Amino acid sequence: MDKIFELIKEEEVRQRNTLMMIPSENYTYPEVRQAVGSVLMHKYAEGQPGRRYYQGNEVVDAVERLCEERALNAFGLSDKKWAANVQPHSGCPANLAVYNAVLTPGDKILSMFLPDGGHLSHGWQMPASTPGEPDKKVTLVSKIFTVQFYHVDPKTRVFNYDKIEAQAKVFKPKMIITGGTAYPREINYKRLSEIAKKVGAYYLADIAHEAGLIAAGANKSPFPYADFVTMTTQKTLRGPRGAIIICRKEFEKDIDFSIIPGLQGGPHLHSIAGIAIALANTKTPAFKKYAHQTVKNAQTLAKYFVDKGLDVVSGGTDKHLVLIDLRKDGTNGWIVAWALEKAGIVANRNTVPNDSGSPFYPSGLRLGTPAITVRGMKEKEMKIIGEWIFQIIDHIKPYKFPEKSEARAQFLKAYREKIEKDKFLLGIAKEVKALCKKFPVP
């Protein structure tokens, strides 16, 4: 057996015996994996269905058209008013394709501040370390466009739309973007659309995380308020890795041209087939039930942490994710995430609003419920998992993260070695494995 297949088997075992609680990860369907591994991966199909640059595309044209239809159908949209492009390889290229379609270099973008929960693809640039110096242009988007960020309220840690509107009126952006990776509350799409119209801006709603919840009616929809809506397909939609752009009909040609020849060559037809299957499943009663349970589970987990005295950002959640600020507990996301993994609970460190840490050593912990809900876990299991997480946070408090950067490498090495043999963490790992056996991966 090739070593790669041995490693794939190891990963399969890891996923089976641990709790997948990174909000952007999920288990897809067996039939999606079958489609993604099919002969469709052999085909080149540059261009759009019916307008390809290569021959032999009659079948794959039908595949892509069906996926486009299902994308609109998933969100209850008419093909007379909206258009879907299912070719972006992932979320970042999807967002870049929208910018490329309607903006010119130097145009202004107003998007959410990354440490407050925004996303790199919305134009992240590092604030200058010294007053008066320019920001460090980290992303390609920030190097092409003029980007400014709006923030959450420092106290409530949710949006103050009046302040966003005031900022937009002064900045006068050409595009306003909402969405991100760690904002646990619903977004008022209608209000953002009104703000965009007042300043003459396009409105892009990035629903990468919430797409499945929106399709199922568990979260509010950005339609009909946004001009463009982008999403990834592997998160709450439960599809393979990929992305979709849905735009108002008048922008269809601009988006198609932006994808090819603007940014990409041939689309990944095998992934598009898998996306089509996942989109069809959003219309089933089982998926709708799953999406609503995903939110219930996250809310149960958030309430449990609040009751235990942890600092849950915004005091709860409306979605599939929970964000904890660990500073009042004397620790940070890096220390807790490694301990959780050793105990069989896979989450991720994350920045929090007003973070005093760095992006690599942030103060927060981000947890999600999409994948464990797929396994059939409900409120009862959330309380069990919540107690394990609370106990682990309490257990590792004696490990103090060094303030001086030069001392961190040695500390981190020693810490990793220490928790490898930590009997408390290994004990919870056994309990986690037992729980996982009761709720097998589909």
User: Distance (Å, rounded) from C-alpha 137 to C-alpha 145?
Assistant: 10
By the 8 A CB rule, do 389 and 309 touch?
A: no
- The letter for the amino acid at 88 is P
In the chain, what are the helix, strand and coil shares in percent, each to the nearest 5?
50, 15, 40
User: Distance (Å, rounded) from C-alpha 229 to C-alpha 250?
Assistant: 14
Residue 402 DSSP one-character state:
P
- Beta bridge partners, 205, equal 178, 229
Q: How many CB atoms lie within 10 A of CB 191?
A: 15
Question: Which among 65, 191, 241, 308 is annotated as catalytic?
Answer: 241
By the 8 A CB rule, do 98 and 83 touch?
A: no
172: phi then psi, degrees, rounded to nearest 5: 55, 65
Question: Which among 139, 232, 282, 351 is annotated as catalytic?
Answer: 232
User: Distance (Å, rounded) from C-alpha 243 to C-alpha 54?
Assistant: 23
Question: Which among 29, 44, 161, 399 is annotated as catalytic?
Answer: 44
User: Distance (Å, rounded) from C-alpha 75 to C-alpha 54?
Assistant: 32
Question: Which among 64, 68, 116, 206 is annotated as catalytic?
Answer: 206
Quote the Cα angle for 42-43-48, to 5°: 155
Q: Is 68 exposed, middle or buried (0-12, 13-18, 19+ CB in 10 A)?
A: buried
Q: Is 375 a catalytic residue?
A: no
Alpha helices in 43-158 (DSSP H): 58-74, 91-102, 140-144
Q: Is 241 a catalytic residue?
A: yes
For residue 85, give the nearest of 219, 249, 281, 287 by alpha carbon.
249
Question: Which among 31, 46, 61, 165 is annotated as catalytic?
Answer: 46
The helix/strand count (H/E) of the chain reads as: 16, 15
Question: Which among 52, 235, 349, 366 is annotated as catalytic?
Answer: 235
Q: Is 44 a catalytic residue?
A: yes
By the 8 A CB rule, do 123 and 111 touch?
A: yes
By the 8 A CB rule, do 189 and 221 touch?
A: yes
List the catalytic residues: 44, 46, 206, 232, 235, 241
